[in-house]
Amino acid sequence: MEAVVERAYGRNKIHPQKFALWVACGGILMMFAAFTSAIIVRQAAGNWLEFRLPDIFYYNTIVILLSSISLHSSYLAFRRGNTSLYRGMLALTFVLGAAFIALQYQGWQKLTAIGIELTTNPSGSFIYVISGVHAAHILGGLGALSLALLHAYLLPHKVTPARKLRFELTLTYWHFVDFLWLYLLFFFTMLY
């Protein structure tokens, strides 16, 4: 059906599905914008426990940035026809994404260890909830990546419009959740 849609609306500069994904990302961004504004509003109201964000959240930023780079190089390799790089980099991205989740979990445990539990004070609760919701979006990305891995390893390497589109959708989303983390980290660093 995808191919049909593409032909039917071939006059468009940007594919409707890609555009729809951008629009959806706008909605997700608003959700996090609400969270970060909530921190600001709530912090201004006082009774705000100060603490230092555990370093692990910074290490994790490197992990997620690397995963964006690896996914992008996988995409380029896919288009160039370099099968082994395409598959390898895709697998690496998946591993890095999973590692990000694992390290976030470590980060939450670190927080608990320094006495900031989920219910201690809203300042800590925000970190748990917001990074948790972000992690849920990463999990969604991992789902898309698993599908991409299946395609990469089970199908012969052919650059059809449908597969290219699917890859580009995954790529856009993954870059987006990566950017989202940078945005959140910026707030966490500024406010904590």
Partner 1 sequence: MANTAIKPVVTEEDLLIEEYGYDDHFHEHHHGDKYQSNFITTYIFSQDHKIIAKQFLITGMFWALIGALMSLVFRLQLGFPEENLAWLRPVLGKWITINDAGMGTLAPEFYYALVTMHGTILVFFVLTAGLSGTFSNLLIPLQVGARDMASPFLNMLSYWFFFLAGVIMFLSLFLSTGPFAGGWTAYPPLSALPQASSGSGAGMTMWILSLVFFVVSVLLGGINYITTVLNLRTKGMSMWRLPLTIWAFFVTAILGLLSFPVLVSGFLLLMFDRSLGTSFYLSEIFIGGQALDHVGGSPILYQHLFWFLGHPEVYIIILPAMGLVSEVLSVHSRKPIFGYRAMVYSILAIGFLSFIVWAHHMFMSGVNPFISNFFVVFTLIIAVPSAVKVFNWIATLYGGNIRFNAASLFAIGFVSMFISGGLTGIFLGNSAIDIQLHDTYFVVAHFHIVMGVAAFFGMFAGIYNWFPKMYGRFMNETLGKLHFWGTLIGAYAVFWPMHYLGMAGVPRRYYRFDSFEAFGQFSAMNQFITIAAIVTFAFQMIFVVNFFYSIWKGKKMTVRNPWGANTLEWTTPIHPGHGNWPGKLPAVQRWAYDYGKDGKEFIPQIKPMDEGETEAH
Binding site for partner 1 (CB under 8 A): 1, 4, 7-12, 14, 16-17, 19-20, 23-24, 26-28, 30-35, 37-38, 41-42, 45, 47-48, 118-119, 121-122, 125-126, 129, 133
Residue number with CB closer to partner 1 (33 or 139): 33
Counted residue by residue, the chain has a size of 192
Q: Please state the closest distance from residue 106 (CB atom) to partner 1, in A.
A: 20
Closest by CA to 35, choosing from 159, 180, 171, 158, is 180
Cα 70 from Cα 76, distance rounded (Å): 10
**Contact (Cβ atoms closer than 8 angstroms) between residue 81 and residue 157:** yes
Q: Please state the closest distance from residue 32 (CB atom) to partner 1, in A.
A: 8
**Contact (Cβ atoms closer than 8 angstroms) between residue 185 and residue 57:** yes
Q: Please state the closest distance from residue 82 (CB atom) to partner 1, in A.
A: 32
Distance set, CA 188 to CA 116, 176, 182 (Å)? 15, 18, 10
Q: Please state the closest distance from residue 116 (CB atom) to partner 1, in A.
A: 12
Read out DSSP for 174-192? HHHHHHHHHHHHHHHHHH-
Q: What are phi and psi of 11, to 5 degrees?
A: -75, -10
Cα 90 from Cα 190, distance rounded (Å): 33
Residue number with CB closer to partner 1 (84 or 119): 119
Residue number with CB closer to partner 1 (18 or 163): 18
Residue number with CB closer to partner 1 (61 or 125): 125
Q: Please state the closest distance from residue 22 (CB atom) to partner 1, in A.
A: 9
Residue number with CB closer to partner 1 (43 or 82): 43
